[in-house]
Copies of this chain bind each other. A is one copy, B any other.
């Protein structure tokens, strides 16, 4: 993979001077087009060996284009807010919105490669990390992003020469510390590991572009013209095909579903409800104050038919908690800033730190529920969402997240009764809108979507818990009890 970047590529000053003005002008024009149309973000990932001109190339790109619309982000030590969330959280934070160019220095590949080189992980772990990255980049591209990954390479000899030259020049001496020499001694290992990692994560939709870093003219023109070509091509409409998902199963012939199989007749008497509520609220409270919980986090998703009792159930949970330890995130229409990002972005934003809980009142599942049923996004987009959602939740679980998803379900008759009651109570009438009546007409479509969702996204580490909620008391107790059990099992 690196051989063709050890050939001593060069471009003469004369040639450079001839090419540079035109390239700058075209890049600038492309940048302004992008900014005006805001149809996709450009994500430039920068990696490579020390001394291969990564920083200088970033500076040149900032000089050639309008730096006010380029977001450059370099990743160093993690903050504790970052450390206490899934690995990819910090990168989600730094994604450029549509219309902008984001340059990410030492992005998501760096840490897994470095950890492998230092022997802190093994080959299987590296491969797993690269797999995760591939999924992530695939999702970004499916969401419309243009990704360019530049790897600046130097042969071992060239790197040594370069480091020596930097160290000899008083102007640049500061750039070569013991750290750089220590890394130089690991050159062979680094080369092997990164070649491996690059191969695993190079794909037609997000290729690695390996650039020989020895000659500045060569590396600047190569990076600049590659960027220009990619942006221009994408501007004219060429877009990698969206990844195809496996077809959904047909509904069963006997029309029996996970929803129809539930027992909607269960009733809990008020006395028993009170007693159990007290018991499980106390238990939940203790569990979240448990010593071991400070290394965990709790993510609870509430979805359900309109009027199924999500709000009331959530209040029974939060009533047991210390206000400093939880947040309830109601999911409404996304803001301008959120619309300029992949659909999962706004949920990543709200993930809890260790020792905390986030309760989502509706969630990322909107993609495969309302957006599917109301045809707010094309089929290929919601179809791929199942996998993206599974990846998302897997990352939470890996980082110590206890993920539980409740689907509150009521019968059609019960819903009608509740709608009518809401209409009659003035202070509840805000809860019933024309939307609710409209959704009700699509009852069967929603039921189908829910069954598919459960089929595709329920698994042991992030299960869907289907809660028949015709009886509010038994539903609330079932939810509290499940939560307690799941947290207990995780501690």
A residues apposed to B, CB below 8 Å: 21, 24-25, 28, 32, 55, 58-59, 62-64, 66-69, 72-76, 79-81, 105-106, 170-171, 173-174, 278, 281-282, 285-286, 289, 311, 315, 318-319, 322-325, 327-328, 330, 332, 335-337, 353, 361, 426-427, 430-431
B55 touches A323 (CB 8 A): yes
B430 touches A330 (CB 8 A): no
Q: How far does the alpha carbon of A24 sit from the alpha carbon of B106 in the complex, in Å?
A: 53
11 contacting pairs across A/B (C-beta < 8 A): A21-B427, A25-B426, A28-B430, A55-B323, A58-B323, A66-B430, A67-B328, A67-B330, A69-B332, A79-B79, A335-B337
B323 touches A74 (CB 8 A): yes
Q: Who on chain B is nearest to A353 by CB? A: B79
Which listed residue, B68, B106, B336, touches A336 by the CB 8 Å rule? B336
Q: Who on chain B is nearest to A171 by CB? A: B278
When A81-B80, A328-B67, A427-B25 are in contact, do A285 and B59 touch as well, CB less than 8 Å? no
Q: How far does the alpha carbon of A323 sit from the alpha carbon of B104 in the complex, in Å?
A: 10
Closest chain B CB from A181 CB (angstroms): 17
Complex interface: chain B residues within 8 A of A335 (CB): 336-337
Which listed residue, B79, B105, B324, touches A81 by the CB 8 Å rule? B79
Complex interface: chain B residues within 8 A of A64 (CB): 427
Complex interface: chain B residues within 8 A of A325 (CB): 76
Q: Who on chain B is nearest to A27 by CB? A: B427
Closest chain B CB from A325 CB (angstroms): 8
When A282-B170, A318-B59, A324-B74 are in contact, do A32 and B430 touch as well, CB less than 8 Å? yes
Complex interface: chain B residues within 8 A of A361 (CB): 67-68
A323 touches B105 (CB 8 A): yes
A328 touches B426 (CB 8 A): no
Q: Who on chain B is nearest to A275 by CB? A: B171
Q: How far does the alpha carbon of A327 sit from the alpha carbon of B70 in the complex, in Å?
A: 11
Closest chain B CB from A471 CB (angstroms): 21
Q: Which 4 A-B residue pairs are closest in the complex by CB-CB distance?
A: A68-B330, A76-B324, A24-B427, A74-B323
Closest chain B CB from A32 CB (angstroms): 7
Closest chain B CB from A31 CB (angstroms): 8
Q: How far does the alpha carbon of A324 sit from the alpha carbon of B58 in the complex, in Å?
A: 13
Closest chain B CB from A110 CB (angstroms): 11
- List 5 additional contacts besides A28-B427, A81-B81, A174-B285; criterion CB under 8 Å: A59-B318, A74-B324, A79-B353, A174-B286, A336-B336
Q: How far does the alpha carbon of A24 sit from the alpha carbon of B318 in the complex, in Å?
A: 21
Complex interface: chain B residues within 8 A of A174 (CB): 282, 285-286, 289
Complex interface: chain B residues within 8 A of A430 (CB): 28, 32, 66
Complex interface: chain B residues within 8 A of A327 (CB): 72-73
Q: Who on chain B is nearest to A278 by CB? A: B171
Closest chain B CB from A149 CB (angstroms): 17
Complex interface: chain B residues within 8 A of A80 (CB): 79-81
Q: How far does the alpha carbon of A67 sit from the alpha carbon of B335 in the complex, in Å?
A: 18
Q: How far does the alpha carbon of A28 sit from the alpha carbon of B21 in the complex, in Å?
A: 61
Closest chain B CB from A343 CB (angstroms): 17
When A171-B281, A286-B174, A337-B337 are in contact, do A319 and B79 touch as well, CB less than 8 Å? no
B426 touches A21 (CB 8 A): yes
Q: How far does the alpha carbon of A171 sit from the alpha carbon of B275 in the complex, in Å?
A: 9
Complex interface: chain B residues within 8 A of A431 (CB): 66
Q: Who on chain B is nearest to A103 by CB? A: B323
Closest chain B CB from A290 CB (angstroms): 12
B427 touches A323 (CB 8 A): no
Closest chain B CB from A346 CB (angstroms): 11
When A76-B324, A278-B170 are in contact, do A315 and B63 touch as well, CB less than 8 Å? yes
Complex interface: chain B residues within 8 A of A73 (CB): 327
